[in-house]
Structure 1
Amino acid sequence: MGDVAMLVPVVLALIKAQPEIKITLISRSRFAPIFAGIGQVQFMAAEVNGKHKGVVGLWRLAKAIKKTNPDAVADLHHVLRSHVVRLFLKWSGLPVATLFKGRQEKQKITKNFDPKTPWLTSSHERYAAVFRSLGLTVDLTPHLVANHKVPKDDQATQLRDNLPRPLIGIAPFAAFPGKAYPEAMMRQLITEVSQKWKGTILLFGGPGKEQNTLNQWSQDHEQVRNCAGSGTFAQELMLLQELDVMIAMDSGNGHLAANFGLPVITLWGVTHPCFGFAPFAQPAENQLCADRTHFPKIPTSVYGKEMPEGYDKAMETIIPEMVINRLSDILDKTNTL
């Protein structure tokens, strides 16, 4: 989800520079709410496990894309499936451009990371480069997302108006264990945040196991609410955009929050923001990284799949006090205390 979410600022920049542009965005249907409210975007669902499965299915998808009469095609995924679709469209005479992921330079960092070396080009800029190669203007500036909102329903509006501020979001989960804050420390952090600020803590996560875990945590404190499984993904975004600040792991929720111009504190375990995956327009001060003095192999891999023995303790070097201090700095500036 994070890769898709990072496209939002780029789309907004495209529209600002080319107000008449029309964009057909092809992805899995569950990601459609991320682009709700952006009038120039038409969403087309890629049913990769259904009618668009296999080479014949991808040919069918390419034909559907061709029927939208595009002037050009941008492949922002650069995987085998998108490569096949791109070839079909290129053979039909359309100009195409492809994302450069920088895989080799990222792998090189995992083998020999020098913290003094400048961070790699962000994913947002890599997306923007694809559109620039097609002759389009893309100027990525922080204010792009300042007023971005998804349409909200009455229930979300009522809930927002009735919740004490500040509204502090916490998304404690990640795709891999080495990227997630230890449960005991997260519960301690939630306790300390609830004691320091008399606002509302909103917990975000997926259905099933994550939802059940957050239900248990929310019962510990009156001002903590679990948003996981309480509505649709679209409704979750309606709540998320009303936050004053988000605390997240190296995961999709941080990118979703940043798309609404929110300050996002990201906790990095066995991964590192040097790869260019930090949420949009977030300062270095918001990137809280595990201590490489004790865990020098960080980043252990690009996406956090690799966790050497003992590195399950890496996140423990980001103590709750560090998060609280950064949170205080942010809320002091936004006057939401």
Structure 2
Amino acid sequence: MPKTKFLILRFSSIGDIVLTTPVIRCVKLQFPNAEVHFATKKNFQSLLQNNPYVDKTHVLDGSLSTLIAQLKAEKFDYVIDLHNNLRTQIIKFRLQVKAFSFDKLNLRKWIYVKLKKNLMPNVHIVNRYMNTVASLGIQNDNRGLDYFIPEKDELPRHWLPQAFQQGFVVYAIGGQHTTKKLPHLQMLALCRQVHEPLVLIGGKEDILVANAIVEALEKEGRSILNTCGNCNLNQSASLLKQAQWVISHDTGMMHVAAALKKKVVAIWGNTVPEFGMYPYQTPFVNIENTSLNCRPCSKIGYDKCPLGHFKCTNDLSFEQLPSLVNRLNKSTDS
């Protein structure tokens, strides 16, 4: 039987690509003789390289025309467009094969952001991604998200200081947009409510904030470890995998944690869970300021609060964190 070749399009970013993994898996396993290719930006290629359901990746590295020429040579049978932006529309036009395109519901998001009227369906974005391929007979297998860590990036427990080897919590302090992250002092207030040894993960851009948190908490006798800028994405995922539970802003690492089936405390700033991108098929609780009439102010985020007050995070209290974690633990014990 000849192969049926699928091209899945999603150029960015970490969380969005992780959220496409059920589609990848279900197409590969459910469609007879499927050969699954995935096109993304070069920065995110590593997210697909270890995925056993991806037969080949294609990289957008500057020239869209170069990528299109490579894709044309593959002679795909179907395109599954889970990004649905101008570039992917150009690709679909140039390839001239049957395509299935994700409905981004941009008008509904605009109405929610600008008019504060929530017309979003009460459906997780993963299920909306799956609806994109439903007409092919592909169904959600409800196995959740996938994230595959290569063996070389698995961090052994003895890599950690002695105080962390009996268990720890991970706080992913990063975020692409400032309005999706807690300010430094609020991060510190949150960390003070964590009674287990705490590991901070993030990129090089998070090092200064992480160092300030560590300096403050070590003076209080807390066990805290800063790995920001010292671990690659897969190594940070390895720390998530070993964590007892995870704290994350509304960022890609929240979805990586969900893929690894970790209990998640999700911190929300200017965005809201109602956009449908909360932790998928894993136990979680939300901490958010639901009393503001300016949320959500964006479907993505800003470099600073448009109104200047940043109350969505500055007014958050974290005293309820221990009871929320108890609720998480009880939900997994029952």
Instruction: Give the TM-score category using the shorter length.
Output: 0.7 to 0.9
Q: Distance in 2 between matches of 1:108 and 1:264?
A: 29
Aligned length: 313
Q: Cα distance, 1:259 vs. partner?
A: 1.2
Structure 1 residue ranges without an equivalent (≥5): none
2:78 is matched with 72
Question: Counterpart of 1:286 in 2: which secondary structure?
Answer: strand
Deviates more, 1:238-247 or 1:70-79: 238-247
1:275 is matched with 275
Is 1:111 the counterpart of 2:114? The answer is: yes
Q: Distance in 1 between matches of 2:282 and 2:309?
A: 26
What percent of counterpart residues are identical?
20
Which of 203, 216, 219 is the matching residue for 1:206? Answer: 203
Give the conservation status (yes or no) of the 8 Å contact 2:214–2:225.
yes
2:299 is matched with 302
Give the conservation status (yes or no) of the 8 Å contact 2:271–2:297.
yes
Answer 1 or 2: higher relative contact order, Cα 8 Å, separation at least 6. Answer: 1
Q: Distance in 2 between matches of 1:73 and 1:19?
A: 16
Is 1:85 the counterpart of 2:91? The answer is: yes
Question: Counterpart of 2:17 in 1: which secondary structure?
Answer: helix
Q: Distance in 1 between matches of 2:282 and 2:234?
A: 24
Query: Deviations 1:241-261 (Å, cap 9, x if unpaired)?
Result: 222221111111101111111
Q: Which amino acid aligns with 2:208?
A: N
Query: Deviations 1:85-125 (Å, cap 9, x if unpaired)?
Result: 111111xxx2112121000011111234357x775433212
Q: Distance in 2 between matches of 1:19 and 1:150?
A: 27
Query: Deviations 1:257-293 (Å, cap 9, x if unpaired)?
Result: 111111222111221111112121256x61222132x
Which of 315, 318, 326 is the matching residue for 1:317? Answer: 315
1:28 is matched with 41
1:98 is matched with 101
Query: Deviations 1:47-106 (Å, cap 9, x if unpaired)?
Result: 332xxx2xxxx233123123334321111111111111111111xxx2112121000011
Equivalent positions of 1:98-247 (< 5 A) are 98-113=101-116, 119-133=121-135, 135-141=136-142, 143-145=143-145, 149-153=148-152, 156-159=155-158, 163-193=164-194, 196-197=195-196, 200-207=197-204, 209-219=205-215, 220-221=217-218, 223-247=223-247
Q: Cα distance, 1:130 vs. partner?
A: 2.1
Give the conservation status (yes or no) of the 8 Å contact 1:13–1:144.
no
Change (3 A) 1:218 1:157: same
Deviates more, 1:255-264 or 1:313-322: 313-322
1:286 is matched with 285
Give the conservation status (yes or no) of the 8 Å contact 1:173–1:181.
no
1:4 is matched with 17
Q: Which amino acid aligns with 1:217?
A: I
Give the conservation status (yes or no) of the 8 Å contact 1:291–1:317.
no
Q: Distance in 2 between matches of 1:45 and 1:212?
A: 35
Q: Distance in 1 between matches of 2:66 and 2:22?
A: 30
1:327 is matched with 325
Query: Deviations 1:134-187 (Å, cap 9, x if unpaired)?
Result: x1413152x434x86423337612447863343311122323332211211211
Change (3 A) 1:170 1:237: same
Q: Which amino acid aligns with 2:94?
A: F
Cα RMSD, aligned residues only: 2.8
TM-score, length-normalised on structure 1? 0.82
Q: Distance in 2 between matches of 1:259 and 1:231?
A: 19
Change (3 A) 1:107 1:46: same
Structure 2 residue ranges without an equivalent (≥5): 1-12
Q: Which amino acid aligns with 1:65?
A: L
Q: Distance in 1 between matches of 2:112 and 2:84?
A: 21
Q: Distance in 1 between matches of 2:157 and 2:322?
A: 29
Change (3 A) 1:322 1:45: farther
Q: Which amino acid aligns with 2:60?
A: E
Give the conservation status (yes or no) of the 8 Å contact 2:289–2:312.
yes
Q: Which amino acid aligns with 1:266?
A: A
Give the conservation status (yes or no) of the 8 Å contact 1:32–1:43.
no
Q: Which amino acid aligns with 2:322?
A: I
Q: Distance in 1 between matches of 2:24 and 2:129?
A: 9
Q: Cα distance, 1:322 vs. partner?
A: 2.6
Question: Counterpart of 1:60 in 2: which secondary structure?
Answer: helix
Q: Which amino acid aligns with 2:244?
A: D
TM-score, length-normalised on structure 2? 0.82
